[in-house]
Amino acid sequence: MFKRVNVLCQVIEGQAAVHRCTCEVNFTGTEHPIIPPTVNDARIYEHVRRVSIDIVGEGNVELAPIFMGSEDFAFYLDKVPGSFLFLGMRNEKIGSIYLPHSPYYTIDEDVFPIGASIYAVFAHSYLSNSTRNLNSYD
């Protein structure tokens, strides 16, 4: 992670120099902790993608684009394999067209049962597979 911080510092300092300015970049994290990048575990992502397709159909599952930003969930993913999942991100009928953290973000509560189903089926199938794998070592 610190390699990325060093590169980011170089980019910021380079951009300042281009405009004949100087800058001081401080990523100590003492006032505000550095949030690690949100990186999905490939195995968990693939499992939740298959579960989601089984529940809502392949045409209703999309891969979100990579974007810069920070997400507290990254602290969990830094410790435990997981996958970040956007649920019901767009419903033009109710104005749910903005990303989370936007002041205009509107939650489409009709998707909550779908999300609960995805999480429940994911947890059940993941734990069932884990137990089966553990028992195969006996």
Q: Is 130 a residue whose pLDDT tops 80?
A: no
Q: Is 137 a residue whose pLDDT tops 70?
A: no
Higher pLDDT, 13 or 3: 13
Q: Is 43 a residue whose pLDDT tops 50?
A: yes
- The pTM of the full predicted model, rounded to 2 decimals, is 0.68
Give mean pLDDT, residues 100-116. 91
Q: State pLDDT tens for residues 67-96.
A: 777 788 999 998 999 999 888 878 999 999
Residue by residue, DSSP assigns 61-125 as --PPPP-----THHHHHTTS-------S--BGGGTB-S-TTSTT----GGGHHHHHHHHHHHHHH
Q: Within 10 Å of residue 118's Cβ, how many Cβ atoms?
A: 20
